[in-house]
Structures are given as C-alpha cells and as structure tokens.
Amino acid sequence: MPERLFVCTPSKLGSYTDCPRRYRYTYVDRPTPVKGPPWAHNSLGASVHTALRNWYALPEAKRRPEALPGLLKGTWVGEGYRDGDQERTAYRRALQWLESYVETLEPGVDPLGVERVVAVKTAVLAFNGRADRIDARTGPNGPELAIVDYKTGRTGLDVDDARGSQALALYAYAAERVFRRPCHRVELHHLPTGTVAAFDHTPESIARQVNRAEATARDIMAAERAVTDGADPDEAFPVAPGPGCAWCDFRRTCPGGVGAPVKDPWAAVERTLLPVTPTTPPVTPAAE
Ligand code: SF4
C-alpha cells in the first residue's frame, strides 16, 4: 500500500517542530485539552490582517486612507486586552500602522491573491496554506510572483527570518505550481516599523525547506502510528519545554509548562504599544 499523504498547513508543521506535545494537544487529542484565555496580540494581528484583506476588496477608487477606520472597526477583535484603555490605544496604533502601510502600496495595482489558499502535493505532503498576499511582479527574467506575509509583533524582522521561514518557502513552492509562474521572492512586511525583510530563494533553498517539511511529516506520521500501535502518547509526543511555554495555550494543562512564567493575555501587546524606534530596512542579500 502506498503511504498516505500527510495533509498539512504551515502552522501544523510548525507546531510539531516547536513542540511535539503541543502538536498532539492541538491536532490529535479529542476533546482538545482546555486552552488558556485568548491572547491580545493574536486579536491585534487578526484585526490588522482582516482590515488589509478588506482593503483590497474595495473598488480601486475607494482605497483611500479615510476608509481605514471603518475597515479596522469592522474587523476589530477585542479579546485579551487588559481594559478598554489598552484596547483603544491598540486600535489607534493599528490604524497608524495601516495608514503608513497603505501609503507604500502602488495605486491601481491589485495583488494576484489576497489571503489566497494555495495547495500542492509532494511525495509525502498534501500541503495547503493561506498566503496573506501573492503579488504578480516583473523580475529581471519576466513575470514572477512574490509571497507577502504581514507581521504585527513588536520585534523588527530581518533577512534571516525571511530566509528561514518554512511557511513562506512552502507558499512560494505551491504558488509557483498553482499559477505556473516563477516564485522565489518572499517578504515579511512588518507594519509597526514599516520595514520589509526579503529573501530570494533558489530552487535549492526551496527544495531544502520542502525536504525539511517532508521529514517533519514523516516524524509526525511515525508518532501517530506508534500511538495507534499501543505506544504511550506522552512518549510518542514528548514535551519540549522552553521559552515558548510561557505563550503556549496549553501551559496550564501540560506538565512541561509547569515552571514557565505566567504571562498576562495582554503582555505581548503591552510591549508592542511601547514607542517604536524606526529601524533601517534590512538589506536583501544575494540568493542563498
Ligand atoms: S507548555 Fe511547553 S512543553 Fe507543554 S505543550 Fe506547550 S510548548 Fe510544549
């Protein structure tokens, strides 16, 4: 019997890479173990992402900065904030980010895809994922695609983040096959600082990321098979305690998260709302 393909998204693969136990709690155990309360930084990120998606749904003539308050209010997620004051501050900051960001967009240019699902199969994976944006551009060799991912965390991102992102590489791999156009450019657009961290993949660097994703998928399938065959689920999906435990939804129920510092749901947003010092945009290096 041929081995079944592993159906996955970037977050499913990333979850296992970060912590096999978190993967099990999220994707295997049913009912899902009790999660902690919603995080305000997730609410802020979701609000900004949806506002940008809806920006592109407007007719070109209505894509004006005046439309942004309505878009942001319409998509605002208010969960996890400390209080109304903090939430209002976050809303104002998010609006500033959006106002600055849309200034940088080329008028009259529509992306090829906005929150577009791309799917592809390999020998091991049945991959699908939703890219924030897929741009159609003209490169030195003709038409090509670029994958754009919006970021709203406080820390500025650099070229290594763009280069190392398995999710972006898999989106590029899938988009190239779905649209039959070269796609090697991946970009992280950090709205709080207005910077772009970009990387131009080579076929080899994309292949390395696909190989890594396939290796992760094989590990996951082996762990799931072991449990089916009677292995202890706690051993098949071990805990991986680390700094991520403090931000893990399952910290309260997981033995690996016992010693992790307790973070308020608004802790990350509190840092994000501190004044930001603009940074110099990272330089794009030659292809890997
Ligand atoms: S608390 Fe830590 S060890 Fe436990 S599932 Fe979450 S990340 Fe993994």
- Any ligand 1 atom below 6 A from CB of 41: no
Whose C-alpha lies nearest to ligand 1, atom 7? 245
In this prediction the pTM is: 0.93
Phi, psi dihedrals of residue 4, rounded to the nearest 5°: -70, 155
Determine the pLDDT at residue 276.
Answer: 58
19 lines ligand 1 (CB under 6 A): yes
253-262 own/partner pairs: CB under 8 Å, 24+ apart: 253/25, 253/33, 253/34, 254/21, 254/22, 254/25, 254/33, 256/19, 256/21
Model pLDDT, residue 208: 98
So what's the pLDDT on residue 155? 80
In 3D, which of 148, 127, 126, 152 has the Cα closest to residue 137? 148
How far away, in angstroms, is 97 Cα from ligand 1 center?
A: 32
Does the beta carbon of 24 lie inside 6 Å of ligand 1? no
Low-confidence ranges of the chain (pLDDT < 70): 1-2, 276-288
Q: How far is the CA of 158 from the centre of ligand 1 (A)?
A: 27
The pLDDT, as a whole number, for residue 80 is 98
pLDDT at 280: 45
Cβ 37 vs Cβ 156: under 8 Å: no
82 vs 268: CA distance, rounded Å: 11
Q: What is the pLDDT of residue 1?
A: 61
Summarize pLDDT for 20-29 with one digit per residue, the tens: 999 999 999 9
Tokens standing for residue 238: 């071990």
Judge if the beta carbon of residue 194 lies within 6 A of ligand 1: no
- DSSP labels, 100-144: HHHHTSPTT---SEEEEEEEEE-SSEEEEEEEEEEEEEEETTEEE
In ligand 1, the atom with minimum distance to the C-alpha of 18 is 7
Q: How far is the CA of 240 from the centre of ligand 1 (A)?
A: 6
